[in-house]
Structure 1
Amino acid sequence: MARHEAPDATERRERSGWGWFALWLVAAVAVGLVVKTFVVTPYVVPTGSMRDTIMEGDVLLGERVSLYFGDPEVGDVVTFDSPLDGETLIKRVVAVGGQTIELVDGAVHVDGEPLDEPYVEGRPTYSLSDLPGSAGVTYPYVVPEGCVWVMGDNRTDSKDSRYFGAVSLDDVTSRALFIYWPLDHVGAL
């Protein structure tokens, strides 16, 4: 003989199923927010200041976890909150706290040595101190402890530390890992 459930039991099971679905949905959203806040964050690149390493419109992932265990290093591509307006920017770390920056004949020198920067593709590097609104950085410039000196790879089209000065480590939000969109730009940074 077939067992028939009372309508009450069927309704309770359906409500219970929706309850589990809602619980899983809330948990998934919570995990997503935790991952985005503390682990990885996507960024859309709005300008050409890092061209040809990163192009306008590229979408990349920045990871945050390593910043809990160590500061950015020279050569890292990082995202940070702009000292000017809080906008998220992306640039390359060229020097860290205690190092001295000089601009000599269109080349960047750190601690008296010229940097090997194949990613700038021959674009010269000059001071931006004479631009309206700049921080008036003078050279040689010693990067304060707890800060990094950042510059865009596209030196002729980048407002960077030459314009706004060193960036506090507290304002660095991630290390850029890789570009994942568009597909023809996919690659590690």
Structure 2
Amino acid sequence: MDTENTRTERDRSSEPDRPDPVPAAEPGTAGTTEERARSGRFPGLSRVSGLLGGSWRRSALLAVVCLGAVLLVSRFVVQPFHIPSGSMEPTLRTGDRVLVNKLAYGPDEEPERGDLIVFDGTGSFVREAAESNPVQEAVRGAFAAVGLAEPAETDFVKRVIGVGGDRVVCCDEEGRITVNGVALDERYLHPGDAPSDVAFDIVVRPGTLWVMGDHRSDSRDSRDHLGAPGGGMVPLEKVIGRADWIGWPAGRWGSLERTDAFARVPDAPEGSAPDAPGSWTGGGPGPSGAPAGSGAPFPGGGGAAGGRPHG
């Protein structure tokens, strides 16, 4: 018997399973063939790589969407502001982060006496904005929008004392500020502070606000700009929003209470506001001896605000 012939011609189906040979790679496809072979040996590797890659992409996309949402909310709804000075103590302290409600005011809702407002002081407290690198300003603005950087040097936070038409006077016989003839009980003032060490008697122009800090002895506010263009008045269009909440530090979380110091103040008579900014009433010399409208600063006043914002 030809045993050799029998071995070579026996039924192939009876032989053990053998892996099919890997086909030769076509020119230019060596890397693809190798990857396919490697994935065949480690089938979980390609699955894990796909999941990780997709996860990173999804995370990056989610981060971009979240950042965009935060910036949109900060731009149009609520923006955190960092308080860098003590001009509003004890109501606001250095290092506080307040949440400013940008929807508080509109065509039918204007700031009221006693409101804490954040505003752009360009043209009233600051004569002109300092030049800056556009890229650096954009980065700083993005960080400031989420409360991680100090606000612009032209941004201030103060309390509204007088609105358009109001006559604001310092001071009566008991040393109190009066608005439309009614003395204010300013319990929000810093302990030991007088209502004002600067005498003034002004009527607020329509469309503007007279503002002061709660820490009167450490606040550069409308009093310091009586002799400047605008007379220390803040135009309504420069108001960014109302400070309604303290968001940081955690121990000071909460809403900022409204004051009742202006509850008895009557509205100003129609047509009582002058056209000239920061005009004195009575037609005679101002409290400093300067003639009304002369532009001369009051004692303790000055030109453009110095120091840090909110000061």
TM-score norm. by structure 2 comes to 0.50
AA in 1 matched with 2:179: V
One of 161, 185, 189 as aligned partner of 2:252: 185
Deviations 1:162-183 (A, max 9, x none): 1121111111111001112223
Contact 1:94–1:151 (CA<8 Å) still a contact in 2? yes
1:21-100 paired onto structure 2 within 5 Å? 21-68=59-106, 70-82=109-121, 83-85=124-126, 87-100=154-167
SS in 2 for 1:163: helix
Cα distance in structure 2, aligned partners of 1:181 and 1:31: 21
Contact 2:88–2:214 (CA<8 Å) still a contact in 1? yes
Contact 1:127–1:162 (CA<8 Å) still a contact in 2? no
Cα distance in structure 2, aligned partners of 1:47 and 1:99: 28
The aligned length equals 177
Deviation at 1:140, TM superposition (A): 2.4
Query: CA 1:13–1:184 in 2, change beyond 3 Å: closer, same or farther?
Result: closer
Consecutive unaligned residues in structure 1, runs of 5 or more: 130-138
AA in 1 matched with 2:78: V
1:112-123 paired onto structure 2 within 5 Å? 112-120=181-189, 121=191, 123=193
SS in 2 for 1:118: coil
Cα distance in structure 2, aligned partners of 1:178 and 1:17: 37
Cα distance in structure 2, aligned partners of 1:29 and 1:187: 25
Deviation at 1:116, TM superposition (A): 2.1
**Is 1:111 the counterpart of 2:180 in the alignment?**
yes
Match of 1:174 in 2: 241
Deviations 1:45-74 (A, max 9, x none): 111111111111111111101223511111
Alpha-carbon RMSD: 2.7
Cα distance in structure 1, aligned partners of 2:91 and 2:55: 49
Query: Which has the larger share of strand?
Result: 1
Contact 2:166–2:203 (CA<8 Å) still a contact in 1? yes
1:116-135 paired onto structure 2 within 5 Å? 116-120=185-189, 121=191, 123-126=193-196, 128=198
TM-score norm. by structure 1 comes to 0.79
Contact 2:125–2:221 (CA<8 Å) still a contact in 1? no
